[in-house]
Structure 1
Amino acid sequence: MPRSKPAGAEVKGRPDATVKLRRLHPRRTPNQARSRDTVQAVLRAAGDAIERDGLDRLTTRRIAALAGISVGALYEYFPNKQAVVYALVTDWMERVFSLLDGLHPVRGGAEDILSYLGKQIDQMADLYRAQPGLGALITMVTSVAELRDAVQKHDERCEASVASALQYFAPEADAQDVHSAARTIAIIAHEILCEAVARNAPDADRLMRNLKICVFALGTRLLLPR
């Protein structure tokens, strides 16, 4: 995800910002399977609506209709459409982290650094493709102050997982070099995936091949003798 300033700087000294952030959170957390299914249906419907008509035309009525529930049922979980979009973004970021962390070599995700990085790019591309309305969501993330803290924490978690995996494969590598490589991989992978997948670039296949070349170069460099 793109880098953002911490949200704390935006909220401090501004009570209205704290209220605004509170209104973005769900009314309640679904604990039963049926409730979780309803929330996931709402999030999928919101993504589909954004994909078709854009963020500006998104309404709670439209989301509820696509999800197959009443507006009242939607309001049981979300106070407004902004809260639905906030949940959609944070849910997607959680899935990104879960995918990355699941590929960590200590969990049997890969046998060597190249297979680890290759799986990371291929599976991340599938995840980006599977998220409807991703281009609009990414644009929104960079402009909504209330999301910046969540984005920063997400970035830190992803980079820490990737750095840990790289260090596993290159135990002799300098820790600062490892973290720098992890951060660079996260930045270029996100930007290229957005261009190739979310924005449907005409040269998407070439961009993805070049992304792998860059990522492989960053990873294998850590294996060289210091």
Structure 2
Amino acid sequence: MTHHSSRPSITRPRKTPSQARAEETVESIVEAAAQVLEAEGLEGFNTNAIARRAGVSIGSLYQYFPGKDALTVALIQRETRRFYHDAAAALTQRSGKAALEYLIGASVRQQLQRPMLAKLLDVQESSPALRGEVEKVEFDALVVAIVKRVAPRLEHPEVAAADLLAIVQGLTDAAGQRGERDLESLEHRVRAAAFGYLSRIAKRDKHSPRAGGM
């Protein structure tokens, strides 16, 4: 059973905007939070700086967000949703190969287009204060669907999908930590790792006798 104690009042929005103008205000505050993180880093990330950047009063900011933890959660959720919507377009590609290439491209873009933001959000997402408060978007079903298109005869596509997620995330995160900026180079390397992995396990499944279960 999950016990939140007083945490929800700190990390969750005070209220949900119900009018278009209020939604615009919230969006501008969240984007301002992203810009402050990029420009000032964690040291300069505070509600006063965010309110100034958004062009709103601190009182207006507090109408929607009780503090910077709630803003961080909102920012992480926004970036996660954007990534998922981009990645989901992989399923519209003509072939399994093109679908996996698109997914890899989306992952690289998410990490390197706004590299400082991605790096700082990775740090913040692992913070004990935020643990359990960020809604997780499940990419498993998306990746499994792509794997089944690329290698339809795999015995355990769910395992392959989990491995691919680890490969793609590991390579893109490491590139972000090193400060890489070349999207094309990183995408080429991630493709090599992902397709090389799938090729090897597909060959293994093809030549191995089927086991009774796993």
**TMscore range, shorter length:** 0.7 to 0.9
Contact 1:125/1:193 (<8 A) preserved: yes
Deviations 1:162-199 (A, max 9, x none): 1022224444322xx21122112212212222232464
- TM-score normalized with structure 1 length: 0.78
Q: 2:89 aligns with which of 102, 125, 129?
A: 102
Kept in 1: contact 2:51–2:61 (CA 8 A): yes
The offset of 1:204, in angstroms, is 7.0
Please list every run of 5 or more consecutive structure 2 residues that lacks an aligned counterpart in the other structure.
207-214
Q: Percent identity?
A: 25
From the superposition, tell whether residues 134 and 169 of structure 1 become closer, same or farther in structure 2 (CA, over 3 Å): closer
Cα 1:214–1:207 change in 2 (3 A) is: same
1:2-13 equivalences in 2 (<5 Å): 11-12=2-3
Distance apart, 1:135 and its partner CA: 0.7
How do residues 138-217 of structure 1 correspond to structure 2 at under 5 angstroms?
A: 138-144=122-128, 146-148=130-132, 150=134, 153-154=136-137, 157-174=138-155, 177-197=156-176, 199-201=178-180, 206-217=185-196
Task: Determine if contact 1:54/1:136 at 8 Å carries over to the other structure.
Answer: yes
1:121 has 2:107 as partner:
no
Letter matched to residue 161 of structure 2:
A
Give per-residue Cα distances to partners, 1:42-84, cap 9 Å, x unaligned. Answer: 1111111111221132111100111111111111111111110
Q: Flag the 1:117–1:169 CA change in 2: closer, same or farther, 3 A.
A: closer
Q: Which is worse superposed, 212-221 or 47-56?
A: 212-221
RMSD: 2.6
Aligned to 1:4: none
The question of whether the paired residues in 2 share the 8 Å contact of 1:26 and 1:79 is answered with yes
1:27 and 2:14 matched: yes
Of the three residues 90, 107, 114, the one matched with 2:77 is: 90
RCO greater where, 1 or 2, for CA within 8 Å and sep 6 or more?
A: 1
Per the alignment, residue 30 of structure 2 pairs with: 43
Shift of 1:203: 7.9
* Greater mean deviation of Cα atoms: 129-138 or 177-186: 129-138
C-alpha separation between the residues in 2 aligned to 1:166 and 1:117? 8
Task: State the shift of 1:149 in Å.
Answer: 6.1
Please tell me whether the aligned partners of residues 64 and 71 of structure 1 are also in contact (alpha carbons under 8 angstroms): yes
TM-score when scaled to structure 2?
Answer: 0.82
